Amino acid sequence: MGIHSEASLAKLPALDAEMRRRLWWALVLFDTRMSETTNHGNVTLNPTWDCKVPLNVNDSDLRPGMKEPPIVQGKTTDALFAVVRCKLGDFIRHNTLHLDITNPVLKQIVRGSPRGSSSADNVDDISRLEAEIEDQYLKFCDEENPLHFLTIWTTRVNIAKWRLMEHCLKYIDDSSMARTETQRDMATSFAMRVLQCDTTIMSSPLIKGFVWLHHLYFPFPAYLQVAQDLRTRPHSKLNRQAWDVLSDNYVAWTIFLDDEATRRNSPVFLIFAKLILQAWQASKATGEFPTEPKIVTSILEITAETTMAPLEGTSASMGQSYNAMEMRIDDEVSMSMPMPMNFVDQHLPFDMAVRDRLMIGPGLHSNLGPHPAWGLQDPFSWNVLRSHPGWGGL
């Protein structure tokens, strides 16, 4: 259709060209999220096309018969959220961090271009992008406005995620480089920043109208990094804060999860629970935690109801619940149901999961997703999501 090409769009009236840009970006970001959730490396968010980011203008500024595109007159328009996510997408499609994961061959296209970068420069590129977005858009936003609030915090959670990716890929590229305690702390700090930004979103009443969207973006990569660090470094100075961050995010999510029965019967939730309980076993063994974190208490209650059903009226110990859950996980995962990319072998080191392209893709938050009427009440039930071929969105 030529909507990916500015040469084709230049031949069209201003309104038609702008609507086609909006359509192209919507399709590309939708397709990229689909690819991310199915672990399909090749995505259309790449540097092989030149469609511009849509204009930051109000819908009322676009009229039939316009000879020239409308002039951008403000910073906070109806299109703000869509424009900022397209800006993020335009950055990442020219960045080797993204291309290393999706299609390394395409790095040749961006090499030497103004928006291209080497792996060593990725962290600086991310910092420059963050400063640019903050200066051009976010500083003009009103956090009391739901759309502005969502724009601010989805931007920040993605910046944090990319920093986590960059850090992990750095040590994958140089396997001879052993990480220091400070560097391991840094990786976990990035992951905690992802969770803290996500908690800000999920705990705000302003996102009530966007919950159906945000349910598609449970921050499991950050959970995996933090939980594995808790399990392997139970005496880390970050551990107390890490459990608080995990608990706060989990509680923020559970407020919107009304159907606990769905979670109890979800094999994916059982994998998530096993990951958290492994981390808690290591932390508890240090003797430094007199009380259980909220996330652990909640998971033990849910898994006890599920795995210890024959023992009604009894209080299952952590060991009983954990052992029973281990058996259930083995049974559930042995089914032929394919697991989504975000839920990998919890014994894998986080950076190994990134290297194998199983953990983090380039996906951004999006306003494209399944309609609320689809009843996607539970982000852990990925089998429900997979039953809708059109779900997703970047």
Written as one letter, the residue type at 385 is L
- Nearest residue to 394 via CA among 76, 60, 132, 91: 91
Distance spanning both ends of the chain, measured CA to CA: 22
Q: Is the pLDDT of residue 330 over 50?
A: no
Summarised one tens digit per residue, pLDDT across range 282-296 is 999 999 998 999 999
Q: Mean pLDDT throughout 59-86?
A: 90
Q: Which two tokens stand for residue 359?
A: 């953990």
State percent of the chain over pLDDT 90.
Answer: 46
Task: For tokens 């999220």, name the residue.
Answer: 33
Written as one letter, the residue type at 136 is Q
Q: Is the pLDDT of residue 73 over 70?
A: yes
Summarised one tens digit per residue, pLDDT across range 350-394 is 444 444 433 333 333 322 222 222 222 333 222 332 233 222 234
Q: Which helix (H) or strand (E) holds 377?
A: none
Q: Mean pLDDT throughout 299-306?
A: 80
Cβ atoms of 372 and 391 within 8 Å: the answer is no
Task: For tokens 């996980």, name the residue.
Answer: 329
* Range with lowest mean pLDDT among 74-78, 89-93, 206-210, 308-312: 308-312
Task: For tokens 């159907």, name the residue.
Answer: 259
Q: How many CB atoms lie within 10 A of CB 181?
A: 10
Summarised one tens digit per residue, pLDDT across range 22-60 is 999 999 988 887 787 777 766 799 999 999 999 999 999
Written as one letter, the residue type at 189 is S
Look at residue 365 in the predicted model and tell me its pLDDT.
32
Look at residue 276 in the predicted model and tell me its pLDDT.
94
Domain boundaries, the chain: 119-386
Q: Is the pLDDT of residue 349 over 60?
A: no
Look at residue 282 in the predicted model and tell me its pLDDT.
95
- Nearest residue to 68 via CA among 8, 23, 13: 13
Q: Is the pLDDT of residue 115 over 60?
A: no
Summarised one tens digit per residue, pLDDT across range 165-185 is 888 877 765 555 678 899 999
